[in-house]
Amino acid sequence: MQNSTCDLSTCFLCRHCMPEWKEVIALKKTTLTVKKGKPVFSEGEKVTGIFFLYAGYVKVHKLWLGQKDLILRFAAPGDILGHRGLGGIDYYPVTATALEDSRLCYISNDFLDASLKANPTLTYQLMHFYAAELQRAEQRMRDMVHMEVKGRVAGALLEIAALPLTVTRQDIASYAGTTYETVFKFFTELTNEKIISTSGKDIRINDPVRLKSYITEGGPGIPGRDRDAA
182, part of any domain: yes
- 91: CB partners within 8 A, 6+ apart: 43, 44, 45, 46, 47, 85
**Spatial separation of the C-alpha atoms in residues 99 and 221, rounded to whole Å:** 36
5, part of any domain: no
> Which residue range(s) make up the domain with 199?
147-216
pLDDT band per the 50, 70, 90 thresholds, residue 4 = very low
On whether both 112 and 154 belong to a single domain, the answer is no
On whether both 22 and 124 belong to a single domain, the answer is yes
State the pTM of this model.
Answer: 0.84
Domain termination residue (choose one: 140, 156, 176)? 140
User: Rounded mean pLDDT of 40-66?
Assistant: 90
pLDDT digits (tens, 9 = 90+) for 185-205: 999 999 999 999 998 888 999
pLDDT for the residue 86: 67
Domain termination residue (choose one: 88, 110, 140)? 140
On whether both 98 and 176 belong to a single domain, the answer is no
Report whether 150 contacts 219 (CB < 8 A): yes
Q: What is the CATH number of the domain that holds 103?
A: 2.60.120.10
Domains held by the chain: number: 2
